[in-house]
Structure 1
Amino acid sequence: MRVANSLLGLLLVLPLSWSLPLGAEEIGEVSTVFKWVGPNDKIVVEAFDDPKVAGVTCYLSRAKTGGIKGGVGLAEDRAEASLACRQVGPIEFRAELKEGEEVFKERTSLVFKTMQVVRFFDRKRNTLVYLVYSDRIIEGSPQNAVTAIPILPWQK
């Protein structure tokens, strides 16, 4: 009985640890579909800072599935997302940037699906470009969003 309770507790806590990746901050949410049992379906807005570029914050909005499956972390969230990255201070590179480098990743199903943000540097235009997309082990989604930040002197 003790093992069963421990396992049940672990199954309830693990999905909560997947809801916000390290460094993401939930800014707000709105309900989109009322559910009689479990949380409502919603759109969540999260913010995260680029770990290698000081002065850049990205805002990601995405759907979260509710209901019983969503409440216990077993639902698969939709692939749609919107992304807006902005310069919020002086831009400073903390480390060497790699093309297509992952700057954010979040699980959107129990095992097989993730949503991720990758960064590119357009040297010709001196611009950082961020792309959000969803992938799955067997079949990904072509749905994506892109945002760009020209690197300009910061005005105080």
Structure 2
Amino acid sequence: MRLIGGLLGLMLMMPLMASAEEIGSVSTVFKLVGPNDRIVVEAFDDPKVEGVTCYLSRAKTGGMKGGLGLAEDRAEASIACRQTGPISFKGELKDGEEVFKERTSLVFKTMQVVRFLDKKRNTLVYLVYSDRLIEGSPQNAVTAIPILPWPQG
């Protein structure tokens, strides 16, 4: 019964997480068999903040394992978030709230983006990092967006 409750809870949370759209990629290592290693640029809109888009760049491992979804991607990622329209909030924001999450290995490793609200400076702060079930990584990147009026035009 707990398992069913947990699964239902996860399913309810899923719509609150953004999904990424691939903008482009570049090949970094040629692989004779399977796809090449590459750096991928993806974009996602913050699901609770209208008018904010984040761009991630990260490595994706190719080869046989990468092609089958069995490879573990590197922990490094870069993030840049920008105001792309008038900013409005869809509900209450929680500090450290997860806005994006993607699996970067078969089971144990994920890349996450969390959001903080710096009320003193009226700024949204986004942090990307990678974690692993047993041991996380200190690799991270941060970006910030001042909450400004959007020009009418």
CA displacement at 1:45 relative to structure 2? 0.4
Q: Quick one: distance in 2 between partners of 1:89 and 1:36? A: 44
**Paired residue type of 2:37:** D
| Cα RMSD (Å) | 1.0
Query: What is aligned with 1:94?
Result: 90
Structure 1 Cα separation of the partners of residues 116 and 98 of structure 2: 10
Q: How does 1:12-51 map to 2 (within 5 A)?
A: 23-51=19-47
One-letter amino acid of the structure 1 residue matched with residue 58 of structure 2: R
| Residues 1:133 and 2:129 aligned together | yes
1:73 aligns with 2:69: yes
Match of 2:100 among 92, 101, 104: 104
**Which residue number in structure 2 is paired with residue 60 of structure 1?**
56
- Distance in 1 between residues matched to 2:96 and 2:121, nearest whole Å: 17
1:115 corresponds to: 111
Deviation at 1:22, TM superposition (A): 5.6
TM-score in terms of structure 1 length: 0.86
Distance in 1, matches of 2:70 and 2:19, equals: 23
User: What is the TM-score normalised by the length of structure 2?
Assistant: 0.87
Aligned sequence identity (%): 85
Whether the 8 Å CA contact 2:18–2:47 is kept in 1: the answer is no
TM superposition outliers: structure 1 runs of 4+ over 6 Å: none
Which residue is 1:142 aligned to?
Answer: 138
Q: Which runs of no fewer than 5 residues in structure 1 stay unpaired?
A: 1-20
Letter aligned with residue 137 of structure 2: S
In structure 2, stretches of 5+ residues that fail to align are 1-16
